[in-house]
Structure 1
């Protein structure tokens, strides 16, 4: 495959659960079937509160034998470690933070480049990397000890912040939320965070913390809040810009096409790189309906350059992927930030993916 480079995800930390009962121990605490770790190598899994709200999203990775790495954001690592230790009781397990000896690497595809590549690098993905289990278009990941990681020439080794920024921009192009920025601790239901659409949840497994409310929401409630991609445009007509790209519904947004700077700025034209400086994370989204009525419909959670991720309150029910064939807002609605920046709206590509 054509790749953009190997990036070090410096905002991640690694916990390790070691011992013969590691999988069964984690199975009672998280939302996915942990027996799949040994079969697939890595699975997404969320840890929920007793009321079914997201405490943190993680990726469980086989560490060999019975051991399992828990790949999580650095800001939730300490609370998660405490939670695991609190539930260990008398089980003969070793649970510790191994971030000082291991790290998370990622490979993003050439489509993640912010400028068109004249000749994308065609290369074999190293065997130690695995497809991102949330959405394959995100690229590949690996959990390696520092010595093994040093064997790979990292594209971002001289500027790790630039590599991390590239990863998160591509993540937003894929409309994949990550906590705690997009999934604030103990405040969001997992289905509102699209976690069921990203392979975080098994609806057929046995009991786990938070299962009751999650299952009830899926089968008996109406899921009206979901994450969608948003984008701004230099000409102030972002929806037409997205339509002109003629993307496959299952394709992520292309940063190289969306972030190209236009010529001299015209009076009254919205700058293309406006979301970080003008639309604040947490800012309200508004829709003007065909009847002229303005209504609050959601919130911006992440934004990089002209691409963002928003939690949208839809008119209909979005309990499963098939529902995304329907428009979340009435025809003719115009979406903007509370500050007046027009936005185009796009469903997450993974709901249309057959993988």
Structure 2
């Protein structure tokens, strides 16, 4: 078991009598799930139903912690301040107090089993059975199984230093990618990406039963489509994949999508589902479309 620090993540603390109701009216997930689980994963969308931010919400005492990308932290605070208007909600950046990391099991079989049909989704879990309960107590309850996928281990919001050996972030990224879990800040584009095309519902980031929130009508309309025009896929290259944003073409030299995040020769790609996906290439590298959900 090892600890992977996530210095790119920050923490916002929200508290006040209107906090829950305020969040319930704006986020894609159901804040009431915190009654029965430690954390939820959610998004904040624009009125057109497109991605703005993604984050985790964790209830801790009188606070709800919002764990997010540092690059968007101040934007999120400003957006929340704008939206809360007269509501009794206090919002504060507490990233100078708290650090974020992941407890991840690095003593695992290879995470990229490849068969004749391409990459198969990883079947192992990111944490050892029984570790969650003991670690929650150890870190004052600010610890939670990643709600997006069981293979992604336990996330920790902590003040004290973690003594476990530092793990391999590249291996963590391979597991994330192999299980088709997008990283919002890397894989999605603000004011452009529709969350369902990026499988955010499969990552437990959307509630279809909670009622209204910003962008909800568009999300529901998109969910009724039988086939998405563009969708996220797991892909495998015959060499190390190029950078995010590299265009993907088919055998007819038609542009059908682009790469998003990758780790060595596997990656996520947003592809056009209505064009031929045989013999795909990304900057000269042959790409096999392997899997979607």
Normalising TM by the smaller chain, what interval? 0.7 to 0.9
The alignment status of 1:59 with 2:59, answered yes or no, reads no
Counterparts of residues 1-355 of structure 1 (less than 5 Å): 3=1, 5-65=2-62, 67-110=63-106, 111=108, 124-125=130-131, 126-127=135-136, 128=141, 129-144=143-158, 146-147=159-160, 150=161, 152-156=162-166, 163-220=168-225, 222-233=227-238, 272=239, 274-275=240-241, 279-288=242-251, 293-315=252-274, 333-337=278-282, 339-348=283-292, 351=293
Tell me how far apart the structure 1 counterparts of residues 163 and 110 of structure 2 sit (CA, whole Å): 18
Alpha-carbon offset, residue 135 of structure 1: 1.0
CA-to-aligned-CA distance 1:241-291 (integer Å, 9 cap, x gap): xxxxxxxxxxxxxxxxxxxxxxxxxxxxxxx4x22xxx2321111222xxx
Question: What is the distance in 2 between the residues matched to 1:94 and 1:169?
Answer: 37
- The structure carrying a bigger strand percent of its residues is 2
**TM-score, length-scaled by structure 2:** 0.84
Deviation at 1:232, TM superposition (A): 1.9
Q: Secondary structure at the match of 1:100?
A: coil
Superposed CA RMSD in Å reads 2.5
For structure 2, which runs of at least 5 residues remain unmatched after alignment? 113-126
Distance change >3 Å, CA 123–CA 45, structure 1 → 2: closer
> Secondary structure, in 3 states, of the residue corresponding to 2:196?
coil
Runs of 5+ in structure 1 lacking a partner?
116-120, 157-161, 234-271, 316-327
The answer as to whether partners of 1:7 and 1:154 remain within 8 angstroms in 2 is: no
Report SS of the residue matched to 2:43.
strand
CA distance in 2, matches of 1:140, 1:280: 28
Which structure would you say has the larger Rg? 1
Greater mean alpha carbon deviation, residues 121-130 or residues 298-307: 121-130
Q: Using the alignment, how far apart are the partners of 2:218 and 2:264 within structure 1?
A: 36
Aligned residues: 272
CA-CA distance at 1:113 after TM superposition: 6.8
Q: Aligned in 2, Cα 1:122/1:88: closer, same or farther, shift over 3 Å?
A: closer
Residues 124 and 153 from structure 1, CA distance in 2 versus in 1: closer, same or farther, beyond 3 angstroms? Answer: farther
Conserved? CA contact 1:54–1:189, under 8 Å = yes
Secondary structure, counterpart of 1:197 in structure 2: coil
Deviation, structure 1 residue 221:
6.5
Alpha-carbon deviation of 1:301?
1.1
Q: 1:112 to 1:95 in 2, by over 3 A?
A: farther
Whole-Å Cα distance in 2 between the matches of residues 220 and 226 of structure 1? 12
Q: Residue 12 of structure 2 aligns to a residue in which SS?
A: strand
